[in-house]
Structure 1
Amino acid sequence: MLSSKDLIDIRRHFHQIPELALQENETAKYLRDIIGSFKQDYLELKTIESLPTATLVHVNGSNPTRTIGYRCDIDALPVTEHTGLDYQSKNLGKMHACGHDIHMTVALGILNYFSEHQPKDNLVFFFQPAEESENGGKIAYELGVFQGKWCPDEFYGLHDNPQLPAGSIGCRMGTLFAGTTEVNVTLKGKGGHAAYPQLANDMVVSASEFISQVQTVISRSIDPIQSGVITFGKLTAGTIRNVIAGEARIEGTIRGLNQSMIKKIDARLKAIGKGIAISFDCDVDVELNQGGYLPVENNPELTDNFINFMKNNKQIEFIETKPAMTGEDFGYLLHKFPGTMFWLGVEDDSQLHSDTFNPKETSIEKGVKAIIQFIEFRMSNN
């Protein structure tokens, strides 16, 4: 079994070679090299021609009654690292600022254990590219990857959490992460001279009114007991101060804790867009793109089983967590397969996606042991 030092060395190597979505070539090679160094008696590795940085590993069970899936993501973010670590990113402008280096290392630790201790049930490990963008889980599913022996009966995956103690496990019944939808709104009117507004159709005014009206969606169209977020982070219009803008573009994001809420918010934005078009005699195009970023909704039965195991294991610090508005494309796979996503505490003052994010490495071995114990427990229950 990989030692604590082995795990830390692997994690630090991953940390130095971050790559963006669908470009994880060096990462995938290093992953496969490590997997190739494991005992191969029970392992079968699979790659996908149309998704070349993805890697799947099947572990043959001794007396299988189910196939348990375990997924981890492998891509990084377009962030320039400022941790000052000896092993910080060698790839300028790219960083494992979301901790996927931790995710991969934990998954390899679990896989290594079961390569040496044959599991009762079959296991399928999915090392997934493109979680941060491009929805790699959805791509893999639509390519028909999870068929036959590669089809999990249930799926599990983790995300690191700097707000939880190192090595602790966090989870909850129901929704763990929100679903997310990208919003792009284009408004087209008529440009003109600032001194003659009556001869133009000002899209700065129209865009402002659209944004103002959308602010009522969460406060007046969504159940106050539930939660949703609409944020517009970018507004582009005009070229110079004395020219009326004939076009404007708004870019933002929707977050919702269930799919029905997201669809309701989507419908309200489209309705507001139609109203603005009529009111301001302009063209308004509201483009909504959710892709694979559906809400991460944990399966009730499997999650209850997972939480009870973690709560009753004296070697594990379990924390029941609240839902988060962050997005995760594992939500797409959990809409296709029953399963559970959970947190691994990595205890850091910096937050996910920050350029100083530095998770505690003591969390890795604790996470490996906790998940191995859970999988063995799960396999003992028919």
Structure 2
Amino acid sequence: MIDLKATRRALHQIPEIGLQEFKTHDFLLKTIKDLTASKDFVHIKTWQTGILVFLEGYQPGKIIGWRTDIDGLPIVEETGLEFKSLHTDRMHACGHDMHMTIALGLLDDLVQAQPKHHLLFLFQPAEENAAGGMLMYRDGAFGDWLPDEFYGLHVRPDLKVGDIATNRSTLFAGTCEVKITFTGQSGHAAFPHTANDALVAASYFITQVQSVVSRSVNPIEGAVVTFGSMHAGTTNNVIAGTASLHGTIRALTQEMSLHVQKRVRDIAEGIASSFGLKLDLELNPSGYLPVENDPELADRLMAYFSAQEGVNLIDCAPAMTGEDFGYLLNKVPGVMFWLGVDTPYPLHHPKMSPKEEALSFAVQTIAPFLRSKTN
């Protein structure tokens, strides 16, 4: 039987950036092979640093999938733990070490007997930086193993161990990166009529784009438009010929995301036209679509967990954080849920340190659920 605490601590020490999870991949693959040795119904294949583990059912009618992410973040750890990261500028500050350990614990439990229906464990790279789920799907990594139902979890610091939170609609927002460059004509500050000021145009855009959420989005729905970076000009007495902005759009449904993207584009094009500027605009939703839970499957999952002793099931509101599991749930019906880990520090904080009691709780609670789906 796998030692959950030791496994989590070993993984915590080797965080790696997406698509560079080489040590993590080796650790996972060795552990998976040890757990599934002599099980002739288990098949393993890899995709770059990702791993797919397929438990072949003896009378299959469907494929049930469990997904975990495996990458870390470019953060210097400040937890002071004895098992802190061995990579000085990398940290598992989003709990993916917990996610991986839980997945291995579930595999260890469920591999003890061949399931009736197929069961796929996906160890997915690059959740944080490159939408690894999208990359794997587009590259055909699943082949014939694409699940009919997909499930996954994410740790949540502000919930207690024993808490499971989800809903029957959107759990996480979809995100879209926005890059804009206005290009005009630089000139001397004393002769503004000979120039075409990109900085002024960009300032108008920043002011006008605030109206997207306040005037173009139904107030009972959710969306965010934030521009966190603007760069223009070189010195005080030279009119800026270019101005570049970098921002993000977040929305709770793909329909709303597309609507907000269109409004941002309309405003940028209008500003560029009115100022006589050239516009370069890039909208990149990549693979970070909204995590939209399938209502029927979510209802069944919530009913199951609410009936389990020791589980505090919470019907929660959506969060504006992004997660690339949304791309896979856009292709396959499924459910994602929060797992409480009770730590005062939020996700992506250099001191974020989940309570390890959540590991055994998760495995003991989720394994029977997956067994009920595959038998």
Deviations 1:254-310 (A, max 9, x none): 000001111111111111111101211111222100011111001111111101001
Report if aligned partners of 1:168, 1:363 keep a CA contact under 8 Å in 2.
no
Could you tell me how far apart the structure 2 residues matched to 1:122 and 1:277 are?
54
Match of 1:68 in 2: 64
**Structure 1: which 5+ residue stretches go unaligned?**
none
Instruction: Tell me if 1:125 matches 2:121.
Output: yes
Root-mean-square deviation over aligned CA pairs:
1.1
Corresponding residue of 1:175: 170
- 1:332, distance to aligned residue in structure 2 (A): 0.5
Query: SS where residue 331 of structure 2 aligns?
Result: coil
Q: Residue 184 of structure 2 contacts residue 276 of structure 2 at CA under 8 Å; is this kept in 1?
A: yes
User: What amino acid is the match of 2:85?
Assistant: S
Equivalent runs, 1:135-150 vs 2, <5 Å = 135-148=131-144, 150=145
Is the Cα–Cα contact under 8 Å of residues 64 and 373 in structure 2 kept in the other structure? Answer: no
Q: How does 1:239-258 map to 2 (within 5 A)?
A: 239-258=234-253
Shift of 1:79: 1.0
Equivalent position amino acid for 1:286 in 2: L
- Number of paired residues? 373
Displacement of 1:120 in angstroms is 2.5
8 Å CA contact 2:68, 2:103 repeated in 1: yes
Within the alignment, does 1:316 sit opposite 2:311 as a pair? yes
The code of the aligned residue for 2:148 comes to D
Contact 2:151/2:335 (8 A) holds in 1: yes
In structure 1, distance between residues paired with 2:229 and 2:208:
17
Partners of 2:119 and 2:374 within 8 A in 1: no
What residue number does 2:30 align with?
A: 33
**Selected match of 2:92 from 74, 89, 96:** 96
Aligned mates of 2:280, 2:49 — CA distance in 1: 35
Matches within 5 A, 1:182-193: 182-193=177-188
In 2, distance between residues paired with 1:97 and 1:243? 43
For normalisation by structure 1, the TM-score amounts to 0.95
The one of 3, 15, 18 aligned to 1:18: 15
Aligned partners of 1:58 and 1:124 also within 8 Å: yes
Identity of aligned residues (%): 49
Q: Report the secondary structure of 2:115's partner residue.
A: coil
Q: Which residue of structure 1 aligns with residue 130 of structure 2?
A: 134
Q: Is the 8 A contact 1:269 1:286 kept in 2?
A: no
AA partner of residue 46 (structure 1): K
Encode CA deviations 1:102-126: one digit per residue, 9 max, x unaligned.
1000000000111223322211011
Paired AA for residue 343 in structure 1: W
Once the two structures are superposed, what CA deviation does each residue of 1:121-143 show, in whole Å capped at 9, x if it has no partner?
A: 21101100011111110111111
1:147 CA drift (Å):
2.5
Distance, in Å, in 2 between the alignment partners of 1:368 and 1:242 is 64
The answer on whether the counterparts of 1:160 and 1:345 sit within 8 Å (CA) in structure 2 is yes
Encode CA deviations 1:219-238: one digit per residue, 9 max, x unaligned.
Answer: 00000000100111111111
Structure 1 SS opposite 2:152? strand
2:45 corresponding residue in structure 1: 46
Query: Given that residues 176 and 248 in structure 2 are in contact (C-alpha distance below 8 angstroms), is that contact kept between their aligned partners in structure 1?
Result: yes
Question: 1:4-15, aligned counterparts within 5 Å?
Answer: 6-15=3-12
| Structure 2 SS opposite 1:44 | strand
Question: Which is further off, 69-78 or 110-119?
Answer: 110-119
Greater than 3 Å deviation, 4+ residue runs:
none
Secondary structure at the aligned position of 1:116 is classed as coil
Q: Report if aligned partners of 1:168, 1:367 keep a CA contact under 8 Å in 2.
A: no
Instruction: Give the match for residue 52 of structure 2.
Output: 56
For the 8 Å contact 1:97–1:357, the answer to whether it is kept is: yes
Q: Is the Cα contact below 8 Å between 1:167 and 1:364 reproduced in 2?
A: no
Whole-Å Cα distance in 1 between the matches of residues 95 and 73 of structure 2? Answer: 10
For residue 8 of structure 1, what is the amino acid of its counterpart? K
**In the aligned structure 2, how far is the partner of 1:87 from the partner of 1:157?**
26
Distance 2:189 2:121 in 1: 61
> 1:230 is matched with which residue?
225
Structure 2: tracts of 5 or more residues without a match: none
